Structure 1
Amino acid sequence: MLQRYKIASPLFLLLVVMPTAIAVLYFGLFANDVYLSESRFVVRSPSKSSISPLGMVLSGGGLTGASEESNAVSEYLESRRALAETDTDALVRNAYGNPGIFWFDRFGGTSGTSREQLYKYFQTKVAVEQGTTTHVTKLTVRAFTPQDAQRINARLLERSEALVNSLSERARADSIAIATGEVNDAKRVAQDAAIALSRFRNQQGVINPEQQATARLQMISKLQDELISARTQLQQLQTYTPEASQISFLRVRVAALQREIDQQTAGVAGGNRSLSSAAVRYQELQLTSQFAEKQLAATLVSLQDAQAEARRKRAYIERIANPSLPDYAVEPRRYRGIIATFILGLLVWGVVSMLMVGVREHRD
C-alpha cells in the first residue's frame, strides 16, 4: 500500500494539485473580467400578397419577418466583411489588443496579429442567435470593458442596418430597371411597327384598304345600277324607236359606265396594286402594330406595379433592444472554473492511477 501511495502521490500533485493551483492563480489573479453587451432586433418587411382570400385573412396583410434578409444579416455578422467594417478605426484591435489585458486572453498574446487571426479571435467574441419562431435575432458581444462591448455591438448593428438598406435598395432598383427596360423595348417595337405601317401606306397610296375597298364597292354598285338603267333605256329605244337620236348617246354612256366599272373592279381585286392584295399586308402590319401597342400598355402597367411594389416592399431593421451597457462582468465564472479543473483533475488522476497500478501488478 505504501508503495502504491508513493506512486500515486506524484501523479496526484501533477494531475490534481498543480492544475488546480494554476486555475486558482489564473481565475483569482490574472483572468480579466468579460462583459456582455446584448441587442435584439428583427428584420421587417411588408407581407407578400396572399394567394387566396382565406390566406389574406389568416395573414392579416401586416408586416412580417423577412427571413431572407434575416439570414443575410446573421451571415453578415459572422463574416470578415463585418469585422472589416467594424474595425475601420481600429475599434476591435484596440478593444481586444489592449496591453492591460492578460496575455493569455489578449489578442496577439498567444498568436500573431494578422487579419485572419483577428477574424478567428473575433468569432469567439461575437455570437448571433436567430429565433426560429419569433424571427428575433440576438446579438451578443464579449469585451473586456463595458464600453467596448457596447460600442462594438452598436457598430455591428449599424452596419447590419446599412446592409439591409442596401439590399432593399438594390432589389428596388433592379425591379424598376427590369421593368423600365421592358418598357423601352416595347416602345421600340411599337415605333418600328408604326413606321412600317406608315411606310406601307405611303408606298401603296392607301390609308385603309378595307375601308377604301368598301367605298369602291359601293361606287361600283351605283355604277352598275346606272349601267342597268342605261342598258334598259337603250334596249327600249332600239326596240320601239330605232331611229331615235338618243341611242348613240346611250351607247356611249353604257360603254363609259362599263369601262369605269371594270377599272374600279380591277382596283379592288385582280392585280398586284389592287386593294385586295394590299389588304393582306396591311392587316399583317396593323395586327403587328396593335399587338405592339398592347404590349407597350402592358409593360407600362408592369412598370407602375414595380414602382408601387418597390415603394411598398422595403425591408428594415426594427430594434427591440438597443446594445446594452453591462453593469458587471458575467465571465469568467471563477469558482466554477476552479471547481471544474479540480474535478477533472481528480478524474484524470483516478484513471491514470488505476492504469499504472494494473500495469505494475501485471509485471509482478
Structure 2
Amino acid sequence: MLSKKNKNLFISYCLVVLVPLFIVVLYLNIFAKNRYESNSILLVKQVAETQVANSSSGLGALLGVSNTSREDAQILKEYISSRDMVEKLDKKLNLKQAFYTQKDPVFALSKDASIEDLVEYFNKVVKVDLDEQTMMLHVTSQGFTSDFSLKLNHEILKISDEFINGISKDIAQEQQSFAEKQYQEAAEQLDQARQAVLSYQNENEIFDPELQAKAVATLISGLQTNLAQLRTEERTLLSYLTPEAPQVVALRSQIESVQKQIDAESAKLTSPNNSKLNKNVADFEALKAQVVFATDLYKISLASLEKARLEASRKLKKLVVIAAPRLAEDALYPRKIYISITTFILLNIIFGIGLLIHSIIREHRV
C-alpha cells in the first residue's frame, strides 16, 4: 500500500502530467486534422546576360546564380510573406475557408478570423527559406489536403513570377521613359535652334554674315592696295608736274573715288546702325552656337536612350523554378509523436518545479 504522502504525490502527478498528456494525445489522434506539405525551389534570374553566361561554366552558368542579386531574393521572400500576397491568394483560393476546420480549433484558422489573423496563420503554414550561398528560395506550403497544398504552392509561384516581372519591367520602363523624354526635349531644342537660324537668314536676306563680312573685308583690302598704288603714282607725277596738270587732276579724282568706295564698304562692316555686318555676324554666331550645343545635346540624349534600352533589357528578370511542387502522399503535420514527447517532458519539468516550490514553502513553515 502506498503511503498518504506517496498517494498524494501520485495523484498530483496524474493531474499535472498524465491527464494533460492524455488530453493532448487524445486531441492529436481524434480532433487534429492532418496537414500535407508541398515544396518548391525558386531562383530569380536576369533575362539578358549572355556574356556572363558564356564566361561561366557548370551549374552557375546554367542557372545564372552569379547574376542573381541578394536583394532580389530578399525582396521576393518578404513579398511572399506579405499581406498583398495573402489577399491575392485569398481571392483565388479562398484561404479562410481552406484553413478553417470545425473539429480542429488549435491547428486551424478560426471561422471569424480577420485579415491580420489570416496573414499570421499564413506565415505559419507557408515558410520561405533563403539559401545564402546559391540565393535559392525554398518555399513550403501546408494544407489540410494534399491537393490544396499543391495548388497553394503553384499559386505562390505564379503570383511571385508576376511580381518579379512587374517590378523589373516597371523599373526598366521608368528609365527608358525618362531617356525618351530627354531625347524628345533635345530633338525639339535642336529643331528650334535650326528654325531660329533659318528665320534669321530669311529675315535679313543673308546666308552667312561671316562669309559676307570676309568678302567685304577682302574687297576693302584690295581697294586699299589700289589706293596705295594710286597715291604712289600721284607722288611720282607731282615730282615733275604741277598740281593743276590734267594727269594729276584725273589721278586725284580716281583716288577720291577709290577712297569713297573704301568708306562705303567699311560702313557695311562697322557702324552705329544695328543692321551692319558686325552685329549680324555676332547674332549669327550666337545662333550657330545654339545649334552646335543643341546638336551635342541631341547626340548625348540619343546615346543615353540607346544605353537605357540596353540596360532595360538587362534588368528584366524572371522566376526560374528549380524544383516544381509535387503532390504529397503522407501527412507530415501535426507531428504527433514529437508533440507528445515534448508535452510529456515539459509537463514533467513543470511538475518538478512545482514539487520544488512546494518543498521550499513547507520548509519555511517548519
Query: In structure 2, what residue type is equivalent to 1:20?
Result: L
**CA 1:97–1:58 in 2, change beyond 3 Å: closer, same or farther?**
closer
Question: 1:124: Cα distance to partner?
Answer: 1.1
Closer, same or farther in 2 for the Cα pair 1:316/1:245, shift >3 Å? same
* In structure 2, distance between residues paired with 1:343 and 1:126: 28
Aligned residue runs from structure 1 range 80-99, under 5 A: 80-99=83-102
- Measure how far apart 1:293 and its partner are: 0.8
User: In 2, are the aligned partners of 1:91 and 1:152 still within 8 Å (CA)?
Assistant: no
Aligned to 1:222: 222
Matching residue of 1:40: 41
Q: Which residue of 2 aligns with 1:278?
A: 280
What is the one-letter code of the residue matched to 1:218?
T
**2:269 alignment counterpart:** 268
User: 2:57 and 2:294 mapped to 1: Cα distance?
Assistant: 39
Cα distance 1:47–1:130, how it changes in 2: closer, same or farther (>3 A)?
farther
SS at match of 1:317: strand
Provide the rounded CA distance (Å) in 2 between the counterparts of 1:265 and 1:75: 80
SS in 2 for 1:316: strand
Cα distance between partner residues in 2 of 1:292 and 1:26 = 80
Q: Which residue of 2 aligns with 1:28?
A: 29
5+ residue gaps, structure 2, are: none
2:290 pairs, out of 272, 285, 288, with 288
Structure 1: distance between partners of 2:90 and 2:15: 43
State the distance in 2 between where 1:49 and 1:227 align.
76
**CA displacement at 1:248 relative to structure 2:** 3.9
CA distance in 1, matches of 2:262, 2:56: 74
Sequence identity percentage:
28
C-alpha displacement at 1:270, in angstroms?
4.5
**Matched residue, 1:297:** 299
Taking structure 2 as the reference length, what is the TM-score of the superposition?
0.87
Superposed displacement of residue 90, structure 1? 3.8
Letter in 1 for 2:78: E
Question: For residues 199 and 283 of structure 2, what CA distance do their matches in structure 1 show?
Answer: 12
1:254 maps to: 255
Question: Is the contact between residue 44 and residue 317 of structure 2 (CA under 8 Å) also seen in structure 1?
Answer: yes
2:311 to 309, 312, 317: 309
The residue type equivalent to 2:338 in the other structure is R
Query: Partner amino acid for 2:33?
Result: N
1:72 is matched with 75
Q: State the shift of 1:95 in Å.
A: 2.1
Superposition map of 1:83-122 within 5 A? 83-99=86-102, 102-108=104-110, 112-122=112-122
Structure 2 residue matching 1:261: 3-state secondary structure? helix
Q: CA deviation at 1:195?
A: 3.5
CA deviations on 1:47-104 (whole Å, 9 max, x unpaired) are: 8899xxxxx97999964103333222111100111111112134423321245x5333
Q: Does the 8 Å CA contact 1:92/1:152 hold for their aligned counterparts?
A: no
TM norm structure 1: 0.88
Change (3 A) 1:284 1:59: farther
- Residue 286 of structure 1, CA deviation: 1.9
Name the structure 2 match of 1:346. 348
Distance 1:194 1:117, change over 3 A: same
SS at match of 2:41: strand
- Given that residues 36 and 333 in structure 2 are in contact (C-alpha distance below 8 angstroms), is that contact kept between their aligned partners in structure 1? yes
| Structure 1 residues 351 and 38, CA gap change in structure 2 (3 angstroms) | same
Residue 13 of structure 2: aligned partner: 12
Q: Are 1:361 and 2:363 matched, yes or no?
A: yes
Q: Secondary structure at the match of 1:87?
A: helix
1:185-204 C-alpha deviation (Å, 9 max, x unpaired): 21232233333434444555
Question: How far has the Cα of 1:306 moved from its partner?
Answer: 0.9
Amino acid at match of 2:159: R
Change (3 A) 1:341 1:98: closer
Amino acid at match of 1:123: N
**2:335 partner amino acid:** R
Report the AA paired with residue 267 of structure 1: K
Matches within 5 A, 1:128-139: 128-139=128-139
Tell me: CA distance 1:338–1:58, structure 2 relative to 1, closer, same or farther (3 Å). closer
Tell which deviates more after alignment, 236-245 or 77-86: 236-245
1:206-249 deviation line (CA, Å, top 9, x unaligned)? 43333222211111121122223333444444544557645444
Give the letter aligned to residue 37 of structure 1: S
How far the C-alpha of 1:148 sits from its partner, in A, is 0.4
What's the secondary structure of 2:33's corresponding residue?
A: coil
Judge conservation of contact 1:237–1:244 (CA < 8 Å) in 2. Answer: no
Deviation for aligned residue 1:262 = 1.2
Displacement of 1:330 in angstroms is 1.4
**Structure 1: which 5+ residue stretches go unaligned?**
51-55
| Number of positions where the alignment pairs a residue of Structure 1 with one of Structure 2 | 356
Over 3 Å counting, the alpha-carbon distance change for 1:58 and 1:323 in structure 2 is: closer
- Aligned with 1:105: secondary structure? coil
Structure 1 counterpart SS, 2:346: helix
Alignment correspondent of 1:53: none
Provide the C-alpha distance between the structure 2 equivalents of 1:196 and 1:85, rounded to a whole number of angstroms.
Answer: 57
2:214 partner SS:
helix
